[in-house]
Amino acid sequence: MIATRYRRAARLCLTTAFLLCFSPFLKSQEDQPSIIRFVRNPDAAPDFKLSTIDGKPISIAAAKGKVVLLNFWATWCGPCRAETPDLVELQTKYKDQLQIIGLAVDVENTEEVKQFVESFGINYPIAVSTDETRIQYGGVAALPTSFVIDTEGRIVQKHEGLRDPVLYETEIRSLLGLSIGSVKVETFEDTGQIFLKHANRASQLPGVDMSKLTPEQKSVALHRFNAESCTCGCGYTLAQCRIYDRACSVSKAATEKIIAAVTKKTAAPGSVSPASSPNSTAPATNPNSPSAPKLPRE
């Protein structure tokens, strides 16, 4: 199952990377982001104990007190290669306050990783990620994926694909209490964007159209999305799979089937239309009749 999951992730990362790698890098102060967003009430970053490619121990706990940028990448990933010089520059600029950690994935030959580190002059620790670590961080559905961790060891943001290094620097400076000019800081609730376990908080899911459901129907559908497992082999609930793999046809078909079932059940003969009222003079009608009034839509 794990192997299947990460083969799918590899395909996803290529697609995501292709779409994101053409975002222009903004270098000037005038072009810095106007808003940055951090998770409200963030979860602790899952810790791990790995050895770097030169045999030194590395963990999240060891970097506590610093901002951590945990970067999942691969030597064969074009966008990963493109962002590496910017990460090297950030590590140099904030060497006493920032710790970038690179975790290489899908590694068959560690010698390639060592050569990559040497050729790019990487100045932050690089280790090979285990499957367990990737699962702890939500499976890592695209490369590169970077988790921004505050000085207390909590994940406050997650970025998939190639991102503007100015965004990273602004987030880092904000977490360090340094000036970020007129940039506004907003917070948001994690509804699966950071940790898939929080997918049950989501009111919307990628590729799932719930716009025609009543509030009651939507509540029932969301409950089922979080209670039923996807059968694609990912091991996630339907809600989690939609967040993790937007291209999954299995979870998409399953969620569509649930929506159809919920809608049909509500409109079954003998049910009372939400539009009905005790004072209504309209005759009761069969909801399945072509002449029956339609249920109100959101």
The residues annotated with a catalytic role in the active site are: 77, 80
* Contacts (Cβ under 8 Å, ≥6 apart) of 27: 166
Q: How far apart are CA 241 and CA 196, in angstroms?
A: 9
Residues 70, 159 contacting (CB under 8 angstroms): no
Assigned token pair, 170: 């602004």
Whether residue 58 contacts residue 51, with contact meaning beta carbons closer than 8 Å, is answered with: yes
Return d(Cα 62, Cα 166) in angstroms, integer.
Answer: 26
Please report how many Cα atoms fall inside a 13 Å half-sphere around the Cα of residue 65, on the Cβ side: 4
Long-range pairs of 156-159 with CB within 8 A, sequence gap ≥ 24: 156/38, 156/39, 156/42, 157/36, 157/37, 157/38, 157/39, 157/194, 158/193, 158/194
**Token pair belonging to 50:** 């790995």
State the angle between helix axes of 110-120 and 78-93 in degrees (0 to 180), rounded to the nearest 10.
50
